[in-house]
């Protein structure tokens, strides 16, 4: 199932946290607040933090290091904190462990009693022991569907497909995935534990957003067909298995009692995240840099999913390079703000009576 494989791909340019950094600071504040309030185990039992869909760890580090600092203020210096970074088996765990060792913001550098571990399994099953996780974090991950119901066909983003049958199949899959994700986390969290989720939202009017970006991508892909870099069959098969969710979608598994697996929603907000590249453009008027930043982000985060449709791997690097250049040029020609609907959810597990 394609999802962000570009992180481990040599054809990828410099990594760009770009969009992933959007909304991060308010989610980190929610995570720090959770670290302030969750019940803690008594030593020698470690405090356990899980990062679900950790990727290469870079953005998650900011949240986790912050939480470790907050927890340390509540417990003795020798009380161990065990952080477990989870992702699919094909994730670039080598880069993750290097980041943990080398990044100056890493909790391994700021806290002598913090330890790291990893789990290479999809979070659409139980992947950690029951009642073992005190704090959970998941950023920019659960928008990727577990399974692609069918090719979208008429657009790379299902949200903009004209086919209502396709749209509803994807919506059912997204509802199923969220339900499963919540149910399994409900088992893994300790009583009183908290889970903070940052993911793609849908605006109040149901809008998925990202219009200028998707338009530039679509036009650049058509140009690649015209130039013979990819075939029209390959373009037809290209789609991004990502779904934004509305506030009601997040709440659905908790109806009607407000609880699922002893979990309930403590905080739920869908907001419009800042387009940092556009704000920078507003200040420096550097259209080329604006286009290049968004294009580098696309390369980093979504080209890998599109490249799954290529019949052979030999054209992968050309495909990445040409698509990045095409997207950058189009966005630079007409800089526009991108709407980024973002959802923040905090789930809490009922404490022991």
Ligand X SMILES: C[S@@+](CC[C@H](N)C(=O)[O-])C[C@H]1O[C@@H](n2cnc3c(N)ncnc32)[C@H](O)[C@@H]1O
Contact set with ligand X (CB under 6 A): 3-4, 20, 53-55, 58-60, 86-88, 91, 122-124, 139-141, 144, 146, 301
CB of 136 to ligand X, least distance (A): 12
Taking the least distance from each CB to ligand X, the nearer of 184 and 319 is 184
Could you tell me the two tokens for 170? 């994807």
Taking the least distance from each CB to ligand X, the nearer of 21 and 152 is 21
What gap in Å lies between CA 6 and CA 280, rounded to an integer? Answer: 26
Query: Taking CB positions, which residue lies at the least distance from ligand X?
Result: 55
189-200 vs 340-349, strand pairing mode: antiparallel
Taking the least distance from each CB to ligand X, the nearer of 332 and 342 is 342
Overall residue count recorded for the chain in this entry: 353
CB of 211 to ligand X, least distance (A): 20
What gap in Å lies between CA 37 and CA 160, rounded to an integer? Answer: 41
What gap in Å lies between CA 338 and CA 353, rounded to an integer? Answer: 47
CB of 242 to ligand X, least distance (A): 9
What gap in Å lies between CA 233 and CA 236, rounded to an integer? Answer: 5
What gap in Å lies between CA 199 and CA 178, rounded to an integer? Answer: 11
Count of CB atoms within 10 A of residue 196's CB? 26
What gap in Å lies between CA 6 and CA 299, rounded to an integer? Answer: 7
Taking the least distance from each CB to ligand X, the nearer of 57 and 193 is 57
CB of 1 to ligand X, least distance (A): 8
CB of 48 to ligand X, least distance (A): 17
H-helix or E-strand spanning residue 35 = helix 24-37
φ and ψ at residue 130, rounded to 5 degrees: -60, 145
CA 253 from chain centre, in angstroms, equals 20
Nearest Cα to 260, choosing from 178, 342, 174, 205? 178
CB of 159 to ligand X, least distance (A): 17
CB 49 within 8 A of CB 64: yes
Taking the least distance from each CB to ligand X, the nearer of 53 and 212 is 53
Taking the least distance from each CB to ligand X, the nearer of 174 and 229 is 174
CB of 99 to ligand X, least distance (A): 11
Taking the least distance from each CB to ligand X, the nearer of 55 and 186 is 55
């Amino acid at each position: 199932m394609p999802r962000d494989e570009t992180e481990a791909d040599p054809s990828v340019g410099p990594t760009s946290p770009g969009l992933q950094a959007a909304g991060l600071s308010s989610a980190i504040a929610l995570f720090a607040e959770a670290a302030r309030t969750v019940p803690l185990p008594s030593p020698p039992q470690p405090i356990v933090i899980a990062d679900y869909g950790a990727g290469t760890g870079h953005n998650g580090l900011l949240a986790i290091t912050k939480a470790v600092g907050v927890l340390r203020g509540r417990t003795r210096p020798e009380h161990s904190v065990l952080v477990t970074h989870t992702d699919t088996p094909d994730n670039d765990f080598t880069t993750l462990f290097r980041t943990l060792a080398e990044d100056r913001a890493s909790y391994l550098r700021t806290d002598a009693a913090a330890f790291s571990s990893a789990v290479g399994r999809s979070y659409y099953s139980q992947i950690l022991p029951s009642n073992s996780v005190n704090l959970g974090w998941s950023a920019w991950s659960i928008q990727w569907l577990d399974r692609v119901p069918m090719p979208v066909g008429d657009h790379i983003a299902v949200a903009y497909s004209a086919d209502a049958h396709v749209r509803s199949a994807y919506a059912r899959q997204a509802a199923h995935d969220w339900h499963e994700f919540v149910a399994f986390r409900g088992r893994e969290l300790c009583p009183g534990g908290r889970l903070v989720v940052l993911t793609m939202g849908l605006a109040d009017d149901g809008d998925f957003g990202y219009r200028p970006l998707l338009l530039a991508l679509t036009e650049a892909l058509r140009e690649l067909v015209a130039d013979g870099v990819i075939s029209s069959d390959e373009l037809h098969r290209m789609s991004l298995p990502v779904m934004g969710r509305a506030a009601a979608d997040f709440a659905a598994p908790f109806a009607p009692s407000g609880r699922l697996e002893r979990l309930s929603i403590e905080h739920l907000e869908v907001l419009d995240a800042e387009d940092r590249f556009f704000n920078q453009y507003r200040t420096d008027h550097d259209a080329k840099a604006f286009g290049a930043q968004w294009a580098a982000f696309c390369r980093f985060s979504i080209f890998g999913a599109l490249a799954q449709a290529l019949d052979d791997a030999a054209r992968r690097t050309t495909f990445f390079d040409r698509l990045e250049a095409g997207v950058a040029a189009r966005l630079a020609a007409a800089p526009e703000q991108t709407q980024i609907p973002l959802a923040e959810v905090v789930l809490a597990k009922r404490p022991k009576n």
